[in-house]
Amino acid sequence: MKFTTLAGVMGGGASSPGFVGHSKHNITQGKFILGDGGLLRMVWMPKMLKEELKDRIVARGKAMGIPDLFDKIADETVGITEEEILPFLQEKGHPALSMDPIVG
Q: Spell out the long-range contacts of 60-66 with Cβ–Cβ below 8 A and sequence spacing 24 or more.
A: 60/28, 60/30, 63/30, 64/38, 64/39, 64/40, 66/40, 66/95
Domain that holds residue 58: 43-104
pLDDT, one tens digit per residue, over 86-97 is 999 999 999 999
Query: Is residue 50 within 8 Å of 57, Cβ to Cβ?
Result: yes
Whether 23 has a pLDDT exceeding 80, the answer reads no
Overall pTM surpassing 0.85 (yes/no):
no
Confidence class for position 78, pLDDT limits 50, 70, 90: very high
Does residue 6 form part of some domain? no
> CATH number of the domain that 54 lies in?
3.40.1470.10
Rounded to 5 degrees, φ, ψ at 93 are 70, 45
